[in-house]
Each structure stands twice: as structure tokens, then as C-alpha cells.
Amino acid sequence: MKKNQKNRFVRLYTILLILILALNIFIPMFHSNRMENTSYSNFLTQVEKKKVKEVQVDGNDDIIYYTLKNDDKKKTYQTGEMNDSQLVDRLKKADVTFTQTIHQSSILDNPFIYFLISFLLPLFFISWLMRRTMKKFQDKMGGDSTFTFTPGGNDAGNGFGGFGGFGNLGKSNAKVYEGKKTGITFKDVAGQQEAKDNLVEIVDFLNNPKKYTEIGATMPKGALLVGPPGTGKTLLAKAVAGEAGVPFFSISGSEFVEMFVGRGAAKVRDLFKQAREKAPCIVFIDEIDTIGKRRDGAGSMGGNDEREQTLNQLLAEMDGFDGSKGVVLLAATNRPEILDPALTRPGRFDRRIPVELPDLAGREAILKLHAKKIKHSPDIDFNVVARAAAGSSGADLANIINEGALLAIRDGRKQVVQKDLEEAIEIVIAGEQKKGAVISPKEKLIVAYHEIGHALVAAKSKNTAPVHKITIIPRTKGALGYTMQVEEDEQNLLSRDELYAKIVTYTAGRAAEEIIFNSYTSGASNDIEQATKLARAMITRFGMSPTFGMTALETVNNQYLGGDTSLACSPETAARVDQEVITLIQQAHDEAVQILKDNLAKLHELAKYLYEKETITGEQFMYILHKPAEISTSGAQ
Ligand code: ADP
Ligand code: MG
Ligand code: ZN
């Protein structure tokens, strides 16, 4: 490989040499094309015949350059050296414009310097350009200043053929974080205790392999971090490297796809070769689903060939080393269900480490961890913020803290307060407040009734979370208003009654619109979607339908990403499921209508209050709800 590279360099150099020589020959030729030598006497005749248009005298060597009148070729003539004292008189007589130039003897006249500039300089420039391009490529692959590229590796087809300077590109793509250089430890990961416990064992094994080998225990070869996006999988892997103090090779599956088209298998081989040389070490393949997708049984249809080769190479490499050598494989994915089963069978990624969305305590811990990076008021109740941000991932929470800080700056405050964080949750969930959005009073009133409909039904039915905040300030993500409910505690199991109460609450916004305005708007579209999803899940997956009982009628395709489902029943059954979903939602809707009709006075009072205030808190809501009714309540305007 080394030799190959040198050859390429020689070839490149030769091409350059020829190019420069050619330029040196052609440029003067091109010049002399328009320049013609003549004798001095010839020049004098032309002057006397008044044919000369312009004269330029080179003061240094008394060479005369001149052009002729009526010369369509616009040639410049050049005489030999001649010291003519009468020249000026002659020219004046012939009425010729003339100038004298005295050119400082140029440094370019020095052949050595000329050589330097015309020959070596371009060479330096080109080599600089090459190095820079290479660095760009490396940065693109790495992005972290701590990586180093280790030479060596195989030479399976250097696809970038040609330039020697690119040689390294084919070699190694994995970033090598030496030791603690990721700068991230388990302290930087809040919550996720289960995942950390699992990983601590791996770290311990890398630090004291003897402890394990003495008993005869072998480490699992690979551990797969699975969980929704933004839960800290990548962060955890980096923390492992930081804790273990061993080299950390990290590569993302998408890099295989984007950067190494046609070379995936070679990359994998190279990655493992490096890892074996550096053992004990950690190899981390992020987003492994991009290369580890299930292979289709029926011979591939061309396009997937490459990915399959990459995957096969990965499988072969995993079989090829034994865990006692101290190479630990980590991988992360949020689509474990699409991985090829061969990847997850024993002896490969046989340990699965779930990295789930954080629970209440986890959310609080993550908020507090990220809040350390900002200036904030000491009396922020992070528990309240954590409860309001139910369902958020670690990345969302980090984002909430940052948005909160931005809000504080916008308000000209020096520190972040509770209010900023609560507003930040809304920004992250619902988008920013749409300043200056034009909403007609009529629309605003509809939205107020709609939201109070949700809140009132939630408050009046058992099994629902308390109302935390209601707002009818439009948001950039499209919501015209929303009602925020915050659970008292984290709930992992939901009973049928609780789920049903949720559906009733979803339908209550539209129910209020119907009762008060006897009209339907498009504002309920999201409610409808949510209600339908939930009702379907109750029937097809949670076994809560009296007709179907505990039959799985749908399977979830991607539990961590959106969770779309596919039917697992006959079309006839599917039709009956649809019917049952419709009935369930209708029933919930009727119940919502009933609750609202029973509390019509409060509905009016609360909606009017919200219409005026635009945002009300849960306490304000509860206060009005529970205070004795006013003597008279007018109907809707
Ligand atoms: P994933 O790889 O699971 O999609 P990342 O590891 O890239 O998620 O996390 C994205 C960001 O979210 C991290 O850089 C960090 O700022 C934040 N984050 C996620 N989970 C946690 C956690 N448990 N503790 C602290 N920060 C977290
Ligand atoms: Mg990640
Ligand atoms: Zn609604």
C-alpha cells in the first residue's frame, strides 16, 4: 500500500511537471505571436513615412516597441538595441506619440526566483489544497477534535483513485477517542440507572479483566442500546469510553451509507482490524439499524447487495474475535425490531440494554443536570416542571432548559425562573406563541369554549389528571389553544376506566363547540386523531374489548418511533374492529356532552374568563369551578 501511494505521487508529480513546462513554452509563444522583431532602420523608415502610431521606449535597454497606424492585426514591433540620440526629434517631427518606460529590473528576471514562482509555488499550493481537502473529509467523518487517524488497514479498493493525498481516506473511518478524551462520564447521564448498571459491568471488565476470567466468565461480545430517540444512547456509549479509559472507536451506521458507498464491507474489516490492534477497547456502532436491517430471504434485488455485504462482514467479524481479548462492541438503535435476527442471536449483540424514556424522577434529574449549565433562580421547583413535561425524552428536556434560558434573555432577566421553564415546555411541545396572529373574536370565543370543554370534562370525571394550565394563545405549530394536564404521579399502568376517561376528555372540546355554537370546526382534528388511536389500541392491543377479549389484533411496528401498527387479523375482523372503535368514541362523546350540559353555567363562566385572560392556571380554573354559581348567567354571544 505504501508503495502504491508513492507511485501515485510520482505520477502526479510528473503530470504537474509537464503541465508547467508546457505553460512555460506556450505563454511566450502566445506573446510573440503579437510581437514582431524588425530592424532599427525599418523602424526609422516607418517613422519617416508617418506610418507609426505610437512608440514606447524601454529606458533600460533602449529597445523600441511601436505600433502602426491602419494595422488591423494590431501588431507590436520590436527593434533591436539602438542608442539613437536624435530619436526624440525624429519622433516629434513625425508627430508620433511616444513614452518612455523605465522598468525596475524585476525580481522575475532572476531565473532562480522565476523558477520558484512558476514552478515550486504551484506545487506547494496543490499539496496544501490536497491536505486541506483530506482534513475536510476527516472532519466530516469525525467532527471531534480528539480523534486521531491510525494508519494501516487493508487496501480493498481505494475508491477515490488518483490522488495520492487521499490515500488515508480509504483506511480508517472510526474515530479513536483515546482514553478519557470524550470528556463524558456517567455523571453526565442523569437517570437511566438500569442502563448504567449494565454498562458499569462492561467498564469493570475492561478495567479488571482478570476478575472475570478467573471465574471463567466471559463478557457478552456485544451490547445493544435500544430506546426512543433522544434518550441518551449515544451519550451513554461515550460515557462508557470516558469511564473505562480505553480507546473508543465510534462510527455511525449512516456514515457507512453516506460516505463509504461501495466500501462498507472493507470499512468494517478495517474497523475491527484497528480495534484488535488497540484492544482492550470499545467499538461503538451508532444507528446500527442502517446497516443491520433484516436481510430479505429471497435473493437481494440488486440495490441491497452492498448493505448485505456490509452486514455479512460485520457478522463475520463478530464471530472472529473472542470476548476475552477485550474488544467490547456497543451499538445503538431506536428500531430494534428491524434488525436482522442474526445480529441479536447469542454470541453477537446478545445483551440488550433498554434506554427508555425517563420517568418522573429521571426527568427531574435530567432537568437539574442541564440546569447547572444556566443561571437560574434557586426556588425553581423542578418536580413541577418534570411532571408537566411527561413523555419528554432527555433531549427534549435539555431543549426545555435551553429554551427557558432564551426566554429569560428575551425578557431581559439575568436568571431563569419557573415561569420560563413552563413556557419552554409549551414551546417544545406546542411551538412558540404566534405573536400578532390574527384571530377573530368569534374564533377566539370558539377556541375558549373548546378548551374549557376539555378542562371541565377532565375535572368532572374521575380518573383524569388535574388541569394545570389552559391557554388560547395560538402557537406556531398550529394549535389555537390547549389544555395542559399534569399527572400527580408517574403512571405506568392505565386502567380501562382511565383510558376511557381520556377519550371522553379528547372528545369534550368538540362537544362544547356543538352545544354552544351548534357548529363543527376543524379545530378538533388532533383530538379526533388521539381519541381514535387510543380507542383502537384499547380494542386491538390492550384486550379491553368485550367482543374480542385478549386477542392481539394489531402489532406495533416501531415501538420507539411513532408506533404505527399493522393489522394482524382477517378483513372481516378488521371491519368489526372499526365498528367497535366508532361505537366507543361515540359513547365517549355522548358522555362528554352530558357532563357539559350538566355544568352549562360553569362552562359559560369559565369560557368567558378564559376569553378575557387568554391564559389561566389550574388553580384559577379550580377556583371558578368550585365557587358558588353566579346569580344569572347569560347565554353565548
Ligand atoms: P440518542 O442517541 O438516544 O438519540 P443522545 O445520546 O444523542 O440520544 O442524546 C441527545 C442529548 O440529549 C444529549 O446530548 C444530552 O444533552 C441529552 N440527554 C439525553 N438523555 C440524557 C440523560 N439521561 N442525561 C442527561 N442528558 C441527556
Ligand atoms: Mg444517538
Ligand atoms: Zn381540543
Is a pLDDT exceeding 50 seen at residue 395? Answer: yes
H or E segment and range at residue 300: none
Is a pLDDT exceeding 60 seen at residue 106? Answer: no
Give 111 or 632, the one with higher predicted confidence: 111
Torsion, CA 522, CA 524, CA 527, CA 529, rounded to 10: -20
Q: Residue 420 corresponds to which cell in the numbers above?
A: 420560563
- Give residue-wise pLDDT tens across range 170-189: 454 566 555 446 678 899 99
Q: Which of 486, 488, 479, 484 is nearest to 455 (CA)?
A: 484
What pLDDT is attached to residue 88? 77
H or E segment and range at residue 176: strand 175-177
- Give residue-wise pLDDT tens across range 299-330: 445 556 777 888 888 888 888 776 667 788 89
Per residue in 208-230, is it b (16+ CB within 10 Å) or e — as a string? ebeebeeeeeebbbbbbbbbbeb
Q: Which ligand is nearest to the CA of 236?
A: 1
Q: Find all residues with CB under 8 Å of 483, minimum gap 6, and list them.
A: 451, 454, 455, 458, 467, 469, 470
Q: Is 296 exposed, middle or buried (0-12, 13-18, 19+ CB in 10 A)?
A: exposed
What pLDDT is attached to residue 120? 73
Nearest CA to ligand 1 atom 15: 395
Q: Predicted confidence band at 355 (pLDDT cuts at 50, 70, 90)?
A: very high
Is a pLDDT exceeding 50 seen at residue 364? Answer: yes
Catalytic residue status for 451: yes
Is a pLDDT exceeding 50 seen at residue 145? Answer: no
Is a pLDDT exceeding 50 seen at residue 265? Answer: yes
Percent of the chain with pLDDT over 70: 80
Nearest CA to ligand 1 atom 11: 395
What pLDDT is attached to residue 28? 57
Ligand 1 contacts (CB < 6 A) are 189-192, 229-235, 332, 366, 369, 394-395, 398
Percent of the chain with pLDDT over 90: 29
Distance 481 CA to ligand 3 centre (A): 8
311-315 contacts: CB < 8 A, separation 24 or more? 311/340, 311/343, 312/265, 313/264, 313/265, 313/268, 313/269, 314/268, 314/285, 314/343, 315/342, 315/343, 315/348
Catalytic-role residue among 255, 451, 554, 591? 451
Distance 465 CA to ligand 2 centre (A): 32
Average pLDDT, the chain: 79
Average pLDDT over residues 484-510: 88
- Give residue-wise pLDDT tens across range 523-570: 888 899 999 999 999 999 999 998 888 888 888 887 777 778 888 888
pTM: 0.65
Give 127 or 404, the one with higher predicted confidence: 404
Atom of ligand 1 nearest to the CA of 227: 3
Distance 458 CA to ligand 3 centre (A): 12
Is a pLDDT exceeding 80 seen at residue 226? Answer: yes
